[in-house]
Amino acid sequence: MNFDALANTMNISDVAAYSERNAIILSSLKDDDPSFTCLILRNFSGDADCCDYSYYHKGIRDMEWLGHCVGKNTHLEDLCFGNADNFINSKESFCRGLKSNKSVQRLTFYDSNLS
């Protein structure tokens, strides 16, 4: 999928329809908001709107767009993975976009078995 071509017509509400917080985060990343410097990826939770910088991923399409937006962002400095064990199914989708990012300075993993 050519995300660069689709990004201008992307409807963020469709991508993150299950969470207003995720839609705000995607919009901040896509718009390269200079105040958005930290992102925490967590497993989907019913309490998805609890934290301003916590993104609760739900599926591969969701993670493809998140990866694209993170990859294009120039202000994101901290990227945290909460319970990364359950991130495994969508990691390739996310990492395709992430590999373009040049601003992330710190990666943090917590509640994860990385062995």
What's the whole-model pTM score? Answer: 0.81
- Amino acid of residue 14: D
| Angstrom distance (rounded) from CA 88 to CA 107 | 16
| Angstrom distance (rounded) from CA 36 to CA 7 | 19
**Nearest-10 crossing angle of helices 91-98, 60-72:** 20
Provide the strand spans (E) within the chain: 38-43, 54-57, 78-82, 106-110
pLDDT digits (tens, 9 = 90+) for 29-87: 999 999 999 998 887 655 444 567 888 877 777 788 889 899 999 999 999 887 766 66
